[in-house]
Amino acid sequence: MAVNRRDFLKLAGAGVGSLVLAAGHTEPAAAESTPEEARRHPSMLYDTTLCVGCRACQNACRNWNETTAELNSEGMYDMPTDLSGSTWTIIKLYEEETAEDADAPGIFSFIKRNCMHCLDPACVSACTVGAMQKSPEGPVIYDVNRCFGCRYCMVACPYKVPRYQWGTTTPLVQKCTFCFGYVQPEGVVDDKNRLAQGLGPSCVEACPTGALSWGPREEMLEKAHTRIKSAPGKYYEDRVYGEHEAGGTLQLVLSHVPFTKLGLPTLDPRPLPSLTDPLNWSVPGIILGVGGLMSAIYVNRSQAEFKTKED
């Protein structure tokens, strides 16, 4: 279905979609958003203590986004073990074996992995052709028509989220879109865009235990901090993963085991693009500096030549 902007604004005004301010995300995408701007951006909170690992989210994602099922060597449906070009979210299990008895249940935790939807994403900064975009509405989305497959986004992402379709001759980079769909031409809304239909992501809808919550980022952060306050010591370091990591993310995680055990890296609060932005801004300096220096040397040396010739 195609929803035009006016229809969408009506829809948005009516439902949960009021989170999202506009739907046609072909406007020159915002390169980043500040935590202040992101307060009303749609956000997902995942709580490991509430997750039972049923993987309903994983299947809901596959069904809604129509990603192909992963088959084993016998051609039968098999459970994927990691994110891939056709698995945009996955539940993994971390388990600590107790030293005394290998069979006794140790400390364990599920972890749902998907795109973290950074406020200032490294992949967006890295993308040669601007195919990865930070939508003004918040989610990090992808333009299938721009991407030429350099895969710098995959190198750049600190969470190792973007995955490639290795098995085809016309591959795309694939990752969770927060059910916001791909970048569309002006005025067209992707029929995979659940946000435009006033719905939250399919994984949140499918979660039976409340391990996934969905709402504006400031509300999700408030909810997370309320949970931490009501049970001090229950959550690792009493903090929310994603609140400050690499400038903050729209995907937030509460965990009762160390985040690194769940494959979530320890990151500085500094947004990653701020590391490389000075490099590109130095180009005019290189042009003037190197150009000026070389011209000066040339003039100096050829004058010396001229003099020796005259003498």
Partner 1 sequence: MATTTIKSSKQATLPVGSIILWIILLIGVWAAIVRYSQGLGSTNLADSRPWGLWIAFDVMAGVALAAGGFTLAAIVYIFRMKRFYPLIRPTLLTAYLGYLLAAGSILFDLGRPDRFYHPFFYWNHHSVMFEIAWSVILYLSILTVENSQLVLEKFRLHALLRIVRKITIPVVIAGIIISTAHQSSLGGLFVLVPNQTHPLWYTPILPVLFYISAISVGLAMVIVESTLSAKAFDRPVESHLLSEIGSWLPTMLGLYLLVNLGNLAVSGKLGFIFEGSLASFMYLAEIIIGVVAPLILLSFASIRNDSARLFQSALLVVFGVIFNRFNVLVWGQNGAFYVPNWVEFAVTAGLISLGTLLYIFAVKNLPVYTDHTPEPEQISEEAPLPAAG
Q: Which stretch binds partner 1 (CB under 8 A): 42-50, 67-75, 107-115, 284-292?
A: 284-292
- Alpha carbon 139 to chain centroid distance? 8
Let me know: does 112 contact 89? Beta carbons within 8 Å.
yes
Contact of 33 with 211, CB cutoff 8 Å: no
What's the closest the beta carbon of residue 213 comes to partner 1, in angstroms? 28
Part in contact with partner 1 (CB under 8 A); list of ranges 40-48, 103-111, 143-151, 235-243:
143-151
The separation between CA 87 and the C-alpha centre of its own chain, rounded to angstroms, equals 14
Residue 72 in contact with partner 1, rule: CB under 8 A: no
270/120 Cα distance (integer angstroms) = 10
Paired sense of beta strands 251-254 and 42-47, if any: parallel
294 counts as binding partner 1 under rule CB under 8 A: yes
166 binds partner 1 (CB under 8 A): yes
By CB under 8 A, tell whether 21 contacts partner 1: no
Please report how close the Cβ of residue 283 comes to partner 1 at its closest, in angstroms. 6
Integer angstrom CA distances of residue 48 from 62, 247, 262, 287, 300: 21, 22, 10, 52, 69
Backbone angles phi, psi at 244, to 5 degrees: -125, -15
For position 171 contacting partner 1 by CB under 8 A, the verdict is yes
Closest distance between partner 1 and the C-beta of residue 202, in Å?
23
Q: How far is the CB of 7 from partner 1 (least distance, A)?
A: 29
Minimum separation from the CB atom of position 123 to partner 1 (A):
10
Among 22, 50, 54, 154, binds partner 1 (CB under 8 A): 154
Q: How far apart are the first and last CA of the chain?
A: 84
d(CA 155, CA 171): 17
Token duo for residue 43: 């956000």
Q: Which CB, 196 or 272, lies closer to partner 1?
A: 272
We find the least distance from the C-beta atom of residue 217 to partner 1, in angstroms, to be 23
Minimum distance from residue 272 beta carbon to partner 1 (Å): 6
Q: What is the DSSP letter of 98?
A: P
CB 198, CB 12: distance < 8 Å:
yes
Contacting range for partner 1; rule: CB under 8 A; set: 33-41, 61-69, 228-236, 279-287: 279-287
Contact segment (CB under 8 A) with partner 1 among 45-53, 71-79, 162-170, 197-205 equals 162-170
Burial class (CB in 10 A: 0-12, 13-18, 19+), 2: exposed
Ramachandran quadrant class, 247 (left: phi over 0; alpha: psi -120 to 50; beta: rest)? left
Q: Is residue 301 involved in binding partner 1 (CB under 8 A)? A: yes
Query: By CB under 8 A, what part of segment 196-225 binds partner 1?
Result: none
SS3 category, 125: helix
Q: Using CB under 8 A as the criterion, which residues of the chain lie in contact with partner 1 when the complex forms?
A: 31, 82-85, 122, 124-131, 146-152, 154-156, 158, 160, 163-164, 166-171, 265-268, 272-273, 275-277, 279-280, 283, 286-287, 290-291, 294-295, 297-298, 301-302, 304-305, 308
